[in-house]
Chains A and B, each alone.
Chain A
Amino acid sequence: MDTLIIGSSSKTPKVVFDADKGELLLEGRSIPENSIDFYVPLMEWLEVYSQEVKTETVVQMKLEYFNTSSSKCILDFFRKLEIISKRGHKVTVNWYFEEDDEDMMEAGEDYDAIVGLPFMMVEQKEA
């Protein structure tokens, strides 16, 4: 299965979904006015992936900002992963937030409370 790679823009995150390694990365900001357009190819890739998962899946969520429109798309993304997890494949979410960014930490806790996936909260200190 091909790796999905999308470069970042001022409103959308970098995406690297590697099926062989089971690593799914979202990094940067997700603030497009119309988030569904951006997330459709990600969900399509995930649908194919869900049929041929071979290894443990680790999701690296390294978001700087996300808007309301993206929040529902991100939830749909996690719910799709939840289905994979319920089929017996291990799925872990690493939710990164910058030191002192309580809002991003809380956002991770919100998803953790809604979705049945293990969330690891990872605080990143400024270099």
Chain B
Amino acid sequence: MNFNLNQWFAENVSEDTLFYYKGSVGSKRVTDILEKIEAIIDEKDFPLKERKKIVNILIELVQNLYHHGEKFEIDNEFKSYGSIIFTKDSEGIKMLSANFIKVEKLKVFTDYIDHTNSLGPDELKSLYRKVLANRHFSEKGGGGLGIINMIRKSGNKLKYCSQRTEGENFFLVLSVKI
């Protein structure tokens, strides 16, 4: 079955969704998204501990889209594309990010998530400190620090799924629960 972006979006936005966005992700848009989410969090009066975790994780997810989202054809134009869905329901808080990723990057990325998911809290702490202290990373890439951060801060494994789209891209969805 062919991948359908609008269908995926419709299936993942519910009446419990507090915020959603799909579209191009430039620097200004990153600021807008984060400001809107913080306004919603203020309005909903989340406890400070939860609020800080949500904002920290959403900063990682949104900026990850900005740095790594592959371009996608929207309205006959190729733009960096990303999607964010922030939901609170009876099971807790769920944050989804989705973007297109080239096939050659997908395996490396998901292998790293699998490895990081397999670690316990103390191992995660050690890995975080090791990566921060030793690994050289660029403006764009955090050497995997963002993944470790999200798992550490959420206290849960980082879930993902991917689906092949037309061409060489996959559609990758990351899901963080707290």
Using Cβ atoms and an 8 Å threshold, which residues of chain A touch B63? 31, 33, 67-69
Cα(A34)–Cα(B34), bound, Å: 16
9-residue interface stretch from B111-119, B125-133, B165-173: B125-133
- Segment 26-51 of A: residues with Cβ below 8 Å from B: 31, 33-36
Using Cβ atoms and an 8 Å threshold, which residues of chain A touch B128? 110
- Say what secondary structure dominates the interface of chain B: helix
**Chain B's nearest CB lies how many Å from the CB of A65?**
6
Using Cβ atoms and an 8 Å threshold, which residues of chain A touch B125? 106, 110
Category for how many chain B residues contact A: 20 to 34
Chain A residues with a Cβ under 8 A of chain B: 10-11, 31, 33-36, 65, 67-69, 71-72, 75, 98-104, 106, 110, 113-114, 126
A-B contact pairs, 6 of them (CB 8 A): A11-B31, A67-B63, A68-B63, A72-B142, A103-B152, A110-B125
Chain B residues with a Cβ under 8 A of chain A: 27, 30-31, 34-35, 47-49, 52-53, 55-56, 59-60, 63, 66-67, 125, 128-129, 132-133, 137, 139, 142, 145-146, 149, 152-153
New A-B contacts (11) at CB < 8 Å, excluding given A35-B139, A114-B133 = A31-B34, A65-B56, A65-B59, A71-B142, A72-B142, A75-B132, A100-B49, A101-B52, A104-B52, A110-B129, A113-B129
